[in-house]
Amino acid sequence: MKAVLVYIINLLFILYSLVIVIRVFLEMLVGPFHPAVHAMRRLTEPVLAPMRRLIPSIGMVDISPAIVLLLLYLVRVILVSIIVRVLP
């Protein structure tokens, strides 16, 4: 049970991180108005927008995806370690 829960949590966090990375690269390659970018934006904007308000851009570079990826990693590690310690 514990292993399955850890696997699912890891999978969900990795997939969401991958969506953020794909969005960043697609915006650079095909532009912000491509339909695929629009779909990725709908998935990631609820998390990236609040971070963008907290952390200003550096020139023309938006670093909010990098900060969100780091925070996702930290939350995943903390969640997994809590599950491993608490559940039998």
Residue 55 to residue 50: CA distance in whole angstroms: 9
Is the pLDDT reported for residue 1 higher than 90?
no
- Note the pLDDT tens digit of each residue in 17-71: 999 999 999 999 998 899 999 999 999 999 999 999 999 888 888 999 999 999 9
Helices (H) and strands (E) in the chain, counts: 3, 0
Position 82 scores a pLDDT of 95
Could you tell me the residue ranges of all domains in the chain? 2-86
Where do we find the tokens 């927008």? 49
